[in-house]
């Protein structure tokens, strides 16, 4: 699966889609594939302030657990409540229905620190995970 265009990426395999002054955040296809079947996602409350690369929660599969890192400094505006009942959405549709939170971006310049789709693809190739 190719790396979707129009998104920015972190080295920890989160993606962010900028929508005006907000950003929608989730984890990449590679990340969900590495984890295996997701069984639980721990997400922050609305209003929580986060710095770039601060851990905002945790995603659990049967055998592993991974911290989730916020791509950009801001305040949590929305959280995907569906994931509580249907954590499998993260596996089935990581860039769509498996979104995790929407953040109101307060440090727009930080987006420049993130990886472009081709840079993320290169990272995956190094990790042996691009296909």
Contact residues for another protein, defined by CB under 8 A: 36-37, 39-40, 42, 60-65, 87-88
Least Cα distance to 52 among 68, 72, 69 occurs for 72
Of the CA atoms within 13 Å of residue 108, those in its CB half-sphere come to: 5
Nearer to another protein, 1 or 36 (CB): 36
Task: Between 36 and 118, name the residue whose CB sits nearer to another protein.
Answer: 36
For residue 128, the minimal CB distance to another protein (Å) is 11
Choose between 55 and 113: whose C-beta lies nearer to another protein.
55
Based on CB atoms, which residue is closest to another protein, 108 or 127? 127
Ordered strands of the 74-79 beta sheet: 8-9, 14-19, 22-27, 101-105, 74-79, 49-50
State in angstroms the smallest separation of the CB of 40 from another protein.
7
Q: How many CB atoms lie within 10 A of CB 18?
A: 16
Shortest CB 4 distance to another protein, Å:
26
Minimum distance of another protein from residue 22's CB (angstroms): 29
- Over 27-95, what HEC string results? ECHHHHHHHCCEEEEECCCCCCEECCCCEEEEEEECCCEEEEECCCCEEEEEECCHHHHCCCHHHHCCC
């Amino acid at each position: 699966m190719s790396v979707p265009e129009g998104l920015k990426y972190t080295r920890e395999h989160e993606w962010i889609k900028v929508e005006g002054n907000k950003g929608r955040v989730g984890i990449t296809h590679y990340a969900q594939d590495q984890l295996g079947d997701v069984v639980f996602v721990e997400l922050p409350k609305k209003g929580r302030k986060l710095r770039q690369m601060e851990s905002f929660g945790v995603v659990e599969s049967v055998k592993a657990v991974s911290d989730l890192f916020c791509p950009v400094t801001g305040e949590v505006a929305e959280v995907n409540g569906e994931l509580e009942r249907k954590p499998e959405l993260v596996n089935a549709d990581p860039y769509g229905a498996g979104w995790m939170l929407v953040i109101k971006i307060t440090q727009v310049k930080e987006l420049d620190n993130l990886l472009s789709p081709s840079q993320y693809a290169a990272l995956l190739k190094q990790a042996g995970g691009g296909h």
